[in-house]
Structure 1
Amino acid sequence: MEAAQAAARLARQVALALGTVDLSPSQYRLLLFLSEGHAAASVVAGRLSVSRPSVTALADGLEKRGLLQRRGDPSDRRIVAHQLTDAGREALSAADAAIAEHIVPIVDHLGDSRSAHALEGLALWNEALTLARSRKDAG
């Protein structure tokens, strides 16, 4: 199926772009999720569909770089919330820009109107994924 192949190829282009700002796709997804607010590791793991040890490993690396911080919950010492730092927000912004700078020249090969449609299609996919996640979270 062409759409499946396009998704796989686009994922590779995103990974290449993220490499220019020293982030992996998993690190980017974690920063992106945390840009919506802080969350406990178990919530992050569920949202990103990874194990809690994977979240810990990702968070360790990002915390060492000053891109996120962990804070204990005063009401429940077992809960550790993860949240973006200012540097993390800057890194996320730089990653977004790097992805755009990488994929726009590729899509420009389609010509003006078709490239606009392709980018609109990506925006629609983002909306669909957000709606699907919201419905899943609602139960």
Structure 2
Amino acid sequence: MCYEQREGKRVYLGTRAWTDKKLKRPIRAVYHVIERTMEADGQLLLTPRIEAQVFFTTLTCSPWQVLQLYGDHATSEQFHSELKTDLNLECLPSRTFATNDLVQYAGLIAYSLLRAIGQISLQEPDAPVRMRCITDG
């Protein structure tokens, strides 16, 4: 499917599916391609600027829904990365899966406890009150 969102900006949205004997169900590649020949302010580009996103999925929903679901995936990855950094779990200590699994479970328990303690402490009457700071300026 191709549509022109505005003059100089074409959007292609579609899907391709394939099957393999090794796969239990078909895999779809959902693509979202934007071709710009003109900036939003009317400035023409010498060569088209092309942005492409491809999502591989087994979901059966429409390409637009897949784009909505996976579009904000980077934000989730950023939170996941920050969590691993805060718990010092970027580099796992062992070569064995069982040991690393145990370390990750310990990190999960520590994180859950700290979060629960934080939530409970906010309900106490002596919880810190957030106030707006007034700066000289």
If the length of structure 1 is used for normalisation, what is the TM-score? 0.28
Whose strand fraction is larger, Structure 1's or Structure 2's? Answer: 2
Larger Rg: 2
Whose helix fraction is larger, Structure 1's or Structure 2's? Answer: 1
